[in-house]
Structure 1
């Protein structure tokens, strides 16, 4: 699979896992959101949370995207949360989703297997040194954009485990392999594909089985 940046043609069956880098204000995102409505459960999920309007817009976008990929009506898509607070597809069964946002960028991954996705701005402050292994610090010396790319892959890896809050970036190691990164921690391994567009870098973590 590969990243889709910007326009997304849902009339053609995209390859899964699908990773889409867009923004909430883009015409293509507005078109997907326009097909969906929110339920009382959706509104309750974000009640009292900061940036609620943006979060609800993201929920509409995810519901519309999953519906199109699964061949379902958007009203049939139900999104809940894992015990640790990560978004999960309750119905239809067998679908997985991950989101990452860094204004104005939004990354969404949808798959039939656990996935993780993250996006960061290239002009943000660099990650702390303790986020990297000694070998990684040698690789990124003098290359701040590479440091952010590795950081993004680590975040995507942690999200894929379903227990993102339990992992520190320094516990996850990255290893370049062709056009991908292999990410590993004590319990999990993943294959990460990264993409750079405009002022952002995004990473998708999926199974390392090939």
Structure 2
């Protein structure tokens, strides 16, 4: 897995770009436009094409897809949080998410799998906000890779971190365990963000 912080080409796929845009989108439409235009710029660099040759569409479930150039064989996923745009590209279905670490928030334990909330409550209280953000980013990345979004109940599958950078997803609806990668970053040195990517294949 390659993690990049600048809109330059990755040496291989899968890859995830985390771009701190400095923007403060005010609504869903502005966030969508920021994601789309940032992604077009990155994909153009990756494919060696002018940005005008890149078009991003959506499938019937709303999952983003590379509409142009047709036949590129790439899967993509997008996320935006606190002015950071995340783009994941892979040859297989992929999901990416970014979550803000909320130091004063109480984690919504009811939305977690019992295995997850037990692990969370076993941590010292100051460590829980970061751990929750990592778990939630991993869960959202997984349902994006599935193409279901949270039409799939978040408590119906379990994320387990093997290390600070890697995690497993145990899903009773899928026979094989799924592996993912996590990353923690600072947005302008002000906020901590947790990112995660899952590639199915």
What TM-score, normalized to structure 2? 0.80
Mapped pair 1:147 → 2:132: yes
Q: How does 1:1-210 map to 2 (within 5 A)?
A: 1-4=1-4, 6-10=5-9, 13-25=10-22, 50-92=27-69, 93=71, 94-123=73-102, 125-141=105-121, 142=125, 143-178=128-163, 179-188=165-174, 189-198=177-186, 199-207=192-200
The answer (yes or no) to whether the contact 2:38–2:85 under 8 Å persists in 1 is: no
* C-alpha separation in 2, matches of 1:193 and 1:117: 10
* C-alpha separation in 1, matches of 2:181 and 2:133: 14
- Aligned pair count reads 183
Alignment correspondent of 2:189: none
Q: Cα RMSD over matched residues? A: 2.3
Q: What SS class does the counterpart of residue 39 from structure 2 fall into?
A: helix
Q: How much has 1:106 moved relative to structure 2?
A: 1.9
Q: How much has 1:53 moved relative to structure 2?
A: 3.7
Q: How much has 1:107 moved relative to structure 2?
A: 1.3
Pick closer, same or farther for the CA change 1:96–1:137 going to 2, 3 Å. Answer: same
Q: How much has 1:172 moved relative to structure 2?
A: 2.0
* C-alpha separation in 2, matches of 1:168 and 1:191: 19
Q: How much has 1:116 moved relative to structure 2?
A: 0.3
What TM-score, normalized to structure 1? 0.77
The answer (yes or no) to whether the contact 2:95–2:143 under 8 Å persists in 1 is: yes
The answer (yes or no) to whether the contact 2:8–2:45 under 8 Å persists in 1 is: no
CA offset digits 1:35-94 (Å, max 9, x no partner): xxxxxxxxxxxxxxx443442232121112112212333222221111111211123321
Gaps of 5+ in 2: 187-191
Gaps of 5+ in 1: 27-49
